[in-house]
Amino acid sequence: MNLLSIQSIRTFYGPVQVHHDVTLEVRPRQIVSLLGGNASGKSTLMKTVLGIVKPRQGRVMFDGADITGRPTAAIIRRGIASVPESRRLFQGLTVRENLLLGAYSRQDTQAIAEDLDRILTLFPRLSQRLRQRAGVLSGGEQQMVAMGRALMSRPKLICMDEPTMGLSPLFVDQVLSLIQTINAEGVAVLMVEQNASLALRIAHHAYVLQSGRIVLQATGAAMAADPRIQDAYLGRTETAA
Amino acid sequence: MLSALTPWIDYTVNGLVIGNIYALLAVGLALIFGVADLINFAVGSVFSFGAYIGWVCAAYLKLPLPVTILVVILASALLGIVIERFGTRPLQGRSRIAALLVTIGIGLIIDQLLQIIFSPDPRALPSGLPDRRFTIAPGATIGTLDLLIAGVGSASGLALWLFLSRSRIGWAIRATAQDSEAARQVGIFTDRMNMLVFALASSLGGVGGLLIGMYYNNIDPSMSFNATLKGIVAAMVGGLGSLPGAIIGGLVLGLTESYGIGIFGASYRDLFAFVILLLVLVFRPQGMFQRAGRAPEPLTGTFIAWSRPLRLPRPVQAAILLVVLVLPLAGQPYVTQIGINALIYGLAAMSLTLVAGTVGQVSLGHAALLAIGGYASALFAANLGWPVALTIPLGGVVAAALGTVLIYPAFRMSGHYVSIASMAIAEIVALVILNWTGLTGGSMGLSGIPPLAIGPIDLSDARSTYYICLGLVIVMALLQARLLRSHLGRSLRAVRDDAIAAKSFGLSPSRYKMIAFLFGGFGAGLAGAISAHLFSYIDSNTFGLDLSILVLTIVILGGLGNIAGALLGAVLLVALPELFREVAQYRELVYGLALILLIRFRPQGLLGTA
């Protein structure tokens, strides 16, 4: 059974149609990458899953339930976590407060404390930063807090919007391997990435979105080998990515 | 030596006590501003509400003080929840000035309801505390009530700080304030946080009202206005959205007022608040205690709902003109009188619709322009003996010039700040009028203002007055329509729609705002001048904030920027309530409701924005 299934979504910004019958699936424990150029509708699709944007037609099913048009907070409570674009940490709150707010929907205090410890072993750099304001951290550290914050809700699926954007190459590799670690623990990942070569390195499955339509889908490896993808998103015409 | 200091110790104690109340108000405003990006103008009405609930408990039901405080907290919190749920929540995603105007409407309604239920007369609100005074220095004492207020102030400050910094819900509130979309993405229901914050802020305000009522042993519904202003000043001084800033701002304001009264006397009391406010707005809009880099987001975006202005068909226009022309001939004198009123308000509304609609400067101080025009014309005519036919246009000129000079520092502000600055300027104008006794008669007002006349021809009868007003309205309307159609009119709208884009095309926003204020000031000044000669008596209250709000409501009703809309709005809001006598006594209620419903359901007004 699919964990997340987006079924023939049509989304509009005012009179402008963003998605034309987009259908996409994420299975449990899968990393799914969503590729596409600027204004292809990638981020909007993510926002539709999270209930920030409501589709005019179509359904979003998660874990057997219809979550189409539900309030964002309610969707999060069903087991989806979000690592938003440009991270959007609560800058004035401490790292510890940010992480614990990730578990805001949970009541099991004991288990929350354990999860915090677990996340600090996953991101050891954050241990010394717990009492600092999130806003003073470096970009890479902020990305870790954002991922930790998402994990704190014990999600079944994490939506990541451009998780490597603006990071130094050193951190990019780290973030990718962290995504794989998280995934190995059983969390499915849906990620939007502009940098296709990075995304395809870890994705089990990938979709290409163009002007609001899915034009291609394949396993990560098949996609990476596809000449059309190499032309459009990898190799020579890097600028198009 | 010590005895010379004694009064200063008293001023300090008094300043800190009042400052504590201001701090309660300012903290509530800061909380709401944090999560909802909104300056809550209903804060003063919640304050009065708290005072009256307190009166019911303490004076009427004779409940003990702790119970009274508890009931006030709960009742005010409930009121806050109602305001959030039905007032501001439906406006999410709209320009924040829309929500601000709605809180003004809510305030009007609460105030009027309090007046209806409890009568406008002042009431005593005894604290029931034993009146013990403790000597803190030779000759200087501090009373039980002082201690209670200081205690409640510091205790709520401490409790709030603990709540926000230690509890998960507190973190969730702060998270919502910093980034509500991200907050929803960690599973926080931000609507509930908004509601909680309105409840918290309102309970602080309500308790503030209870305490000040006990402090002066006197409450009345008109205390709302002052409380709103002082709370806003304190919050702005501290830096909007900053809680420690709000507390410090409250204490600074309380002390400044108290020392100021000690030095200059009580009639200058409110002047300090507004002068401080203006200085902060102009020089440190981020507040006195925040670094420049962390200024709150400027609340940009004007309140304009896009629409196509309705055009009335020619026959309808002709019919309206005919009715308007023959009204005084056919109707009774009472109807003519109402017509005069509507025309004067129409004149004022046309001038505001240019400023607030066409150029997007939502002024809450328009009444000051009428006041300047009225006083100028009255003084020229009464003191210098100049003919009224000359002094009225002169009043318009003075209002245009002086008004533009006064508002000039606000030209670089946007959104909320323009509204608050214009309100502060208007209050300063009123206070100068009140205190410049030599020129304006001060609190005695100006009486014996010569009636309308041209040379020896007396025109003070209702019919002539009506036609004079009608003539002025028609002339000003044609001029304004001509202005809007011109290249200049397009530039004015460009400045409103996108000041930065306009700038990059070489338009100077300040210059166009100035042109609008000059033209609008002239029209408003004319309206004020005519009123002065019509009433034959004016004082510093004739043109107050209630007038500014009414004219703004008229303008929104008609459609911002729409000339015909301004006139229609004046007829509907000024003339209609007069025709139905029983409605007239609930006027504020009608205005408040009109404001709320319009902004919610028909922000483009009846005739559409232009």
- How do residues A150-164 score in pLDDT, each as one tens digit? 999 999 999 999 998
| Residue B522 in tokens | 């002239």
**Domain boundaries of chain B, sorted by first residue:** 13-294, 341-545
- The shortest CB-CB distance from A90 to any of B179, B187, B189 is to B179
Edge-to-edge order in the sheet of strand A157-161: A80-83, A157-161, A188-192, A31-35, A205-210, A213-219
**pLDDT: which is higher, B414 or A198:** A198
B486 secondary structure, DSSP code: S
DSSP H stretches of helix in A69-157: 72-77, 95-102, 109-122, 139-151
Domain extent for A188: 4-240
Q: What is the ipTM of this complex?
A: 0.91
> Is B168–A93 a contact, with Cβ atoms under 8 angstroms apart?
no
User: Whole-angstrom Cα distance, residue B516 to residue B523?
Assistant: 11
pLDDT at residue number A239: 45
B156 touches B24 (CB < 8 A): yes
Pairing of β A205-210 and β A31-35: parallel
> Is B187–A105 a contact, with Cβ atoms under 8 angstroms apart?
yes
pLDDT at residue number A226: 85
Non-local (6+) Cβ contacts of B602 within 8 A are none
pLDDT at residue number A233: 72
> Is B186–A92 a contact, with Cβ atoms under 8 angstroms apart?
no
| Residue B57 in tokens | 């408990």
- Whether the CB of B164 is below 8 Å from some CB of chain A: the reply is no
> Is A101–B190 a contact, with Cβ atoms under 8 angstroms apart?
no
Evaluate if residue A13 carries a pLDDT over 80: yes
Pairing of β A188-192 and β A31-35: parallel
In 3D space, the residue among B386, B392, B431 whose CA is nearest the CA of residue B523 turns out to be B392
- The shortest CB-CB distance from B174 to any of A73, A90, A102 is to A90
| Residue B165 in tokens | 């910094």
Instruction: Determine the average pLDDT of the residues in A10-36.
Output: 93
User: Whole-angstrom Cα distance, residue A77 to residue A6?
Assistant: 18
Q: Which residues of A touch B181 (CB under 8 A)?
A: 52, 72, 84, 88
User: Whole-angstrom Cα distance, residue B37 to residue B190?
Assistant: 13
Query: Please, what CATH class does the domain formed by B13-294 belong to?
Result: mainly alpha
Pairing of β A4-13 and β A16-26: antiparallel
Most A CBs within 10 A among B35, B186, B189, B193, hence the mutation to make, goes to B186
B599 touches B557 (CB < 8 A): no
- Whether the CB of B179 is below 8 Å from some CB of chain A: the reply is yes
B43 touches B29 (CB < 8 A): yes
**For chain B, which ranges sit under pLDDT 70?**
1-3, 289-306, 331, 581
Percent of chain A with pLDDT over 70: 97
User: Residue-wise over B302-312: b if at least 16 C-beta within 10 A, else e?
Assistant: bbbbebebeee
> Is A91–B178 a contact, with Cβ atoms under 8 angstroms apart?
yes
> Is B187–A153 a contact, with Cβ atoms under 8 angstroms apart?
yes
| Model confidence, pTM | 0.88
pLDDT at residue number B301: 44
CA distance between the termini of chain A: 32
| Residue B234 in tokens | 């304190």
Q: Number of folded domains in chain A?
A: 1
- Whether the CB of A86 is below 8 Å from some CB of chain B: the reply is no
How would DSSP label each residue in B27-54? HHHHHHHHHH----TTHHHHHHHHHHHH
| Residue B602 in tokens | 């028909």
- The shortest CB-CB distance from B187 to any of A52, A76, A91 is to A76
- The shortest CB-CB distance from B174 to any of A74, A93, A153 is to A93
Phi/psi at B124 (5° precision): -85, 140
| Residue B48 in tokens | 């009065």
Chain B nearest-CA residue for A75: B187
The full length of chain B comes to 610
**pLDDT: which is higher, B334 or A132:** A132
What CATH code is carried by the domain that includes residue A54? 3.40.50.300
